[in-house]
Amino acid sequence: MTTTTAPHPSPALDPALVSRLAALVTAAPDRPRQASHAPFTGDVIGEVPTCTAEDVREAQRRARAAQVEWARRPIAERCAVMLRYHDLVLERQEQILDVAQAETGKARVSAFEELADVAMTARYYANTAAKHLRPTRRQGALPLLTKTTEHHHPKGLIGVISPWNYPLTLAVSDAIPALLAGNGVVLKPDAQTPFTALIAVELLYEAGLPRDLLQVVTGAGRVLGTPLIEGVEYLMFTGSTATGRTVAEQCARRLIGFSAELGGKNPMVVLADADLEKTVEGAVRACFSNSGQLCISVERMYVEDAVYDRFVPAFVERVQRMRLAAGLTWEAEMGSLVSQDQLDVVSRHVDDAVAKGARVLAGGRARPDLGPLFYEPTVLEGVTDGMELARDETFGPVVAISRVRDAEEAVERANDTEYGLNASIWTTPARGAELATRIRSGTVNVNEAYAAAWASHDAPMGGMKDSGVGRRHGAEGILKYTESQTVAVQRGLPVGPLPGLPLDRYAKVMTAGLKALRRAPFLR
C-alpha cells in the first residue's frame, strides 16, 4: 500500500496576482475568458483571455517591432537581463512554486526541479551566449589570400509552443536563448497551465526585458497554432509526436526551421553489478517524478536475471512507501495527475494490461480519497506486446518491469521502440558509458535517472527517431535561432582564372596547388 497523507486543500492564489498575470496576455479587451483549474481540488484558479488569430497577429506585430531595437543592443546588455532574471527566479521561488503546484498538481519537489532548471538555463546562456554568437574565423579558399568569417544573425521572430507537464521551464527555457540571440518571441503556453508560464514571463519583464519583445497568447492550440506558425521565422515545439508531425508539415510549407521535443517510451537497464540501494532510489525518481508526466521519465525497465529477484522486491517495497499528498507542502514525493484525460489514459493502460495477463506488483488504482486526479505509482510485471502500454506512451506513474538474460538482451530490447528520447543504465561507470553509446536515444544517463543529462546545459538535449527533431541546450540550443552567414574577403589573386591566362593552364596550376595543399599540415 502506497503511503499517503491527508489531503490538503490547495490554497487559492492571490486574486491580485491572478489578475495581474492575466493582463499580460496579448488579447483584445472583449475576448471571452477561459478558466484554469487546480488538479488537487478541481477549483478554478483564475481566467485568461481566449485569444484569436487576430490576437496572434497583433502579438507578432508588437514583438517584431521591438526585435529591431533589441537586436542592436550589445550582447552584454542582453546577458545582464538574464543574469538578473536568474536572481529573481531564485528569490521569488515560493510564489512561483505555489502557482506551478496549484496549476499542475505536481509535488513541490517536482515544481522546484522546474524552477532550478529555469535558473540554470538563464545562467548558462547569459555566460556563454557571447561565445556561441561571436564571429568565427573559418578556413578560407586560398591560404593567406582568403579571409573567411562565419557570422550569426537573429532569425527575427520565434514561436514557442509549450506543454502543460513542465509549464514553467518549457515556457521560458527555450525562449531565453532565442531572446539572447537577438530575436523576438511569441509564446503560446498550454491552455491548462497559462498562469505558470505568465509568472515566469512577468519576472523576465521585471529583469529588464522589453515588454513588447516577448508576447504571450492563450487559448487552444488547434486555433492558435496555425496563425502562430504563419507569422514566425522559426518554431520551437514541445508535445506529442502526433502533433509534432502536423507542426512539421506546417513549417515545411513555409520553409521555416523548427525544433521539436516529442514523445518517449524510455527504457531503464539494471545490470547485476549495479549498486542495489542507489538503483532502487534512482528508479523511483526515473519512473515517478512529476507523477510520470515527464517526456524523459522511464516507462520500461529491463533487469538482468542475476539481480532480478533481489532488485524487484526492493523496488516494489520502496514504491509502496512513496508519499502521495495534495497541497503546497514539501512532504509529498508524488502529486496528482494534471487532468481527467491523463487519468483516463493511465487507468485504461493499466486495466488493459491486467485484463491481458499482466501482474500488478504495486499500485494499480486511482486514489480519489486524495484528490480527483490521483493515481498510485504502479509497477507491472508480465507486460507483453499485445498490451497498449507495451509500446504506447502512457505519460503517467506506470512502469513495466521485465527480466532479461544479460546486457546484450537489455540493449536490444531498449532499442526496440519507435522512440528515442532518454534512457537510463545502472552498472559500473565504465561499462555504462560503453553501453550507452549503443542505445539509440538522444540522452543516456549512467547511474542516474534523467537529471544528469538534462541538467548538463552545455550539451545538446533532444530525441532520435520519433522523439523529436533538433536539440535544445548547448551551442545548438542558441544557434538554431540564428541565420549563419559566411563572409569571404579575397586579397590579391582571385580564386578563379587570372585574366589572360589560358583556361587549360589555369586548370594545371590549380591542380598542382590542390596537390600541394593536401600535404599542408595547417589545413588538415
The DSSP line for 276-316 is HHHHHHHHHHHHHGGGG--TTSEEEEEEEHHHHHHHHHHHH
Q: Is the per-residue pLDDT at 202 higher than 60?
A: yes
- Place 493 in a pLDDT band, splitting at 50, 70 and 90: confident
* Total domains in the fold of the chain: 2
**Residue 272, burial from CB neighbour count under 10 angstroms (0-12, 13-18, 19+):** middle
> Which CATH number is 435's domain given?
3.40.309.10
Please confirm, yes or no, whether 251 is among the known catalytic residues: no
* Dist CA 492 CA 494 (whole Å): 7
As a whole number, mean pLDDT of residues 39-46 equals: 95
| Within-domain flag for 201 | yes
Same domain, yes or no: 225 and 306: no
Same domain, yes or no: 36 and 140: yes
Please confirm, yes or no, whether 388 is among the known catalytic residues: no
As a whole number, mean pLDDT of residues 88-100 equals: 98
DSSP labels, 478-513:
HHTTEEEEEEEEE-SS-SSPPTTS-HHHHHHHHHHH
Same domain, yes or no: 407 and 301: yes
* Dist CA 399 CA 192 (whole Å): 26
Same domain, yes or no: 158 and 237: yes
Instruction: Name the domain boundary from 459, 494, 510.
Output: 459
Query: Any alpha helices (H) in 105-148, and if so which ranges?
Result: 108-133
* Dist CA 110 CA 118 (whole Å): 13
Same domain, yes or no: 349 and 253: no
| Within-domain flag for 487 | no
| Within-domain flag for 43 | yes
Chain mean position to CA 362: 29
Residue-averaged pLDDT of the chain: 96
Same domain, yes or no: 86 and 194: yes
Helices (H) and strands (E) in the chain, counts: 19, 20
| Within-domain flag for 55 | yes
Same domain, yes or no: 124 and 217: yes
Output the CA–CA distances (angstroms, integers) from residue 60 to 129, 169, 372, in the order listed: 24, 22, 39
Same domain, yes or no: 236 and 288: no
Same domain, yes or no: 133 and 270: no
- Place 513 in a pLDDT band, splitting at 50, 70 and 90: confident
Same domain, yes or no: 280 and 229: no
Same domain, yes or no: 252 and 272: no
Catalytic residue among 114, 202, 261, 299: 261
* Dist CA 98 CA 106 (whole Å): 10
> Which CATH number is 235's domain given?
3.40.605.10
| Within-domain flag for 7 | no
DSSP classification of residue 11: P
User: Which residues contact residue 223 at a Cβ distance below 8 angstroms, ignoring those fewer than 6 apart?
Assistant: 51, 52, 53
> pLDDT at position 517, please?
83
pLDDT digits (tens, 9 = 90+) for 105-163: 999 999 999 999 999 999 999 999 999 999 999 999 988 899 999 999 999 999 999 99
Q: Which domain holds residue 450?
A: 266-459
- Report the percent of the chain where pLDDT is more than 90: 92
| Within-domain flag for 304 | yes
As a whole number, mean pLDDT of residues 161-174 equals: 97
> pLDDT at position 220, please?
95
Catalytic residue among 295, 299, 304, 333: 295
Same domain, yes or no: 74 and 204: yes
> pLDDT at position 522, please?
62
pLDDT digits (tens, 9 = 90+) for 444-476: 999 999 999 999 999 999 999 999 999 999 999
| Within-domain flag for 490 | no
| Within-domain flag for 469 | no
pLDDT digits (tens, 9 = 90+) for 254-282: 999 999 999 999 999 999 999 999 999 99
